[in-house]
């Protein structure tokens, strides 16, 4: 039986900011004495991570992994692009995505000790960011796209379509990576957001001196452009702007998509 409890481990982590495994090892070495364990961690250079937790983690890497009928996009955050491009940081991001794709979003907790270790060795605030998993059901296909930069993923997409091919799913995923839509269809856009934008566009149009009789048509046209920026089905396909995403789908439909972009 260990000579310490889970509460002791939690308290030592709070005191030192060290990783869970390091705290367990220190308590074991100190025969359960918290103060001695804290000193052991300090001497080994393993304390002080708590101070880093308050620093902004605006950099990082993303990964997109497909596993059977499931796909995952995962973001691992850090403070600097130097750490984000480190081989072990990128490898852990890929490992997290593979774990989520095969087991589910909650599976990221299985690598918490490894994340703690990276915080200590790389001396930065490292944390898991956005995590999404999509699963294709019967008659559906799933695919991913990852845009890389300087050896790390910076833009990860997963998409599920029904009644279409793997090639179509991939084309849609590539399109999403470049246009970064917020919503799949207009139905998903909150009405309050639409109303606020419409009121703003109406005021702008009036200030420009547009004729009152033409305002509705002018506002509708500008709102269509606004939807086109945000709604995937309304967008022009990046490889052929004569086609909308809706028209290129034909009888297929997009079931869901997920995207994580560094810095977004």
pLDDT of residue 55: 52
Residue 224 pLDDT greater than 60, yes or no: yes
- Residue spans of the domains in the chain: they are 6-52, 59-185+233-261, 190-230
pLDDT of residue 46: 66
Residue 212 pLDDT greater than 80, yes or no: yes
**pLDDT tens digit sequence for 70-94:** 999 999 999 888 999 999 999 999 9
Superfamily in which the 6-52 domain is placed by CATH: Ubiquitin-associated (UBA) domain (1.10.8.10)
Q: Is the dihedral of CA 145, 131, 14, 6 positive or negative?
A: negative
Which of the following CATH numbers is that of domain 59-185+233-261: 2.40.70.10, 3.90.950.10, 3.20.20.60, 3.30.479.20? 3.30.479.20
Q: What is the average pLDDT across 133-148?
A: 96
Q: What is the average pLDDT across 238-264?
A: 92
Residue 107 pLDDT greater than 90, yes or no: yes
Q: What average pLDDT is seen over the chain?
A: 90
CATH architecture, domain defined by 190-230 = Orthogonal Bundle (1.10)
């Amino acid at each position: 039986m260990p000579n310490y409890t889970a509460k002791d481990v939690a308290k030592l982590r709070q005191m030192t900011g060290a990783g869970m495994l390091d705290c367990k090892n220190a308590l074991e070495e100190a025969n359960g004495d918290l103060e001695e364990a804290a000193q052991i961690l300090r001497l080994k250079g393993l304390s002080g991570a708590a101070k880093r937790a308050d620093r902004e983690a605006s950099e990082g890497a993303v990964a997109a992994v497909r596993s059977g009928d499931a796909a995952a996009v995962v973001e691992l955050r850090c403070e600097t692009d130097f750490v984000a491009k480190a081989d072990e940081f990128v490898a852990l991001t890929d490992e997290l995505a593979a774990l989520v794709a095969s087991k589910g979003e909650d599976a990221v907790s299985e690598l918490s000790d490894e994340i703690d270790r990276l915080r200590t060795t790389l001396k930065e605030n490292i944390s898991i960011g956005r995590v999404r998993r999509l699963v294709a059901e019967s008659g559906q296909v799933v695919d991913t796209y990852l845009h890389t930069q300087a050896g790390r993923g910076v833009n990860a997409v997963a998409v599920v379509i029904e009644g279409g091919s793997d090639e179509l799913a991939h084309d849609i995923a590539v399109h999403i990576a470049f246009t970064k839509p917020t919503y799949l269809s207009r139905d998903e856009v909150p009405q309050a957001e639409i109303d606020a934008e419409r009121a703003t566009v109406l005021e702008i149009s009036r200030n420009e001196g547009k004729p009152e009789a033409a305002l509705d048509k002018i506002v509708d046209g500008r709102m269509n452009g606004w939807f086109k920026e945000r709604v995937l089905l309304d967008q022009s396909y990046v490889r052929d702007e004569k086609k909308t995403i809706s028209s290129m789908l034909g009888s297929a439909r997009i079931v869901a998509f997920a995207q994580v972009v560094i810095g977004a």
